[in-house]
Amino acid sequence: MLKLKEAIVVEGRYDKNALSQVVDTLILETAGFGIFKNPEQMALLRTAAQRRGLIVFTDSDGAGFVIRNRIKSAIPGQYLKHAYIPDIYGKEKRKKVGGKEGKLGVEGMTPQVLEDCLRRCGATFLDGTAADCAQGGLTKADLFAAGLTGGADSAKRRLALLREMKLPEHMSANALLAVLNGCYTREEQEQLLAWAAEQ
């Protein structure tokens, strides 16, 4: 069991159960879109974020991004880290019908995928194995130079890069920049941008 400094927020109890098999930390739930109607829950997330940091770990579908963006708008960014699961199509075992977009959620990921996502987002592991991240450096101009924004094929290139990085296709250029700056070394950033420029 991996111990984390930060608390984690997920959409529901099945996501919480899946993560509880991997990490030992405070795991909070949004109750899906319930976070929009529950100021007490948002206050709890804000307190957890200010006291220990908060990792936002929602599904990679459109609904997950709506919930993620609500949290981002309510809590200052310096307290947040964002873990993203890859787009993997399928259906969770407990469900009779898959999700609207056909993607697995946090609960459908293997323990290794969940751990990898946490390491990539820069989670602080209390055993001293925090990810070696670049912590800044790239700008929107770097994304433009790599053909990921502002060009005729930018959206296509960005989607290819997101798939290469095993990140969800709904990520904006700003979210991609945040992940590159917060989760990858300078060398990894350069390799990824060079790969994108060749697409």
What's the pLDDT score for residue 113? 94
- Of 137, 149, 126, residue with least CA distance to 185: 137
Cβ atoms of 186 and 137 within 8 Å: the answer is yes
The alpha carbons of the chain give a radius of gyration, in whole angstroms, of: 17
pTM: 0.73
C-alpha–C-alpha distance, residues 122 and 190, integer Å: 18
Predicted confidence at residue 136, as pLDDT, reads 58
Q: What does each of the 199 residues of the chain score in pLDDT, given as a tens digit?
A: 899 999 999 999 999 999 999 999 889 999 999 999 988 888 889 888 988 899 999 998 889 999 999 999 999 999 999 999 998 888 787 877 777 787 888 999 999 999 999 999 999 998 754 444 445 588 999 999 999 999 889 999 999 998 888 777 777 888 788 778 766 778 888 899 999 888 8
Please name which of 121, 116, 149 lies closest in space to residue 133, comparing C-alpha atoms: 121
Which of 60, 79, 76 lies closest to 10 in space, CA to CA? 60
Given this model, what pLDDT does residue 183 score? 63
Could you tell me which residues are beta bridge partners of residue 7? 54
Three-class SS of residue 136? coil
CB 82 within 8 A of CB 179: yes
pLDDT at residue 187, rounded to an integer:
87
Query: Taking a C-beta distance cutoff of 8 angstroms, is the pair 4, 24 a contact?
Result: yes
Secondary structure of residue 166 in the 3-state scheme = coil
pLDDT of residue 132: 47
Q: What angle do CA 39, 32, 63 make, to 5 degrees?
A: 115
Burial 126-137 (b: 16+ CB within 10 A, else e): eeeeebebbeee
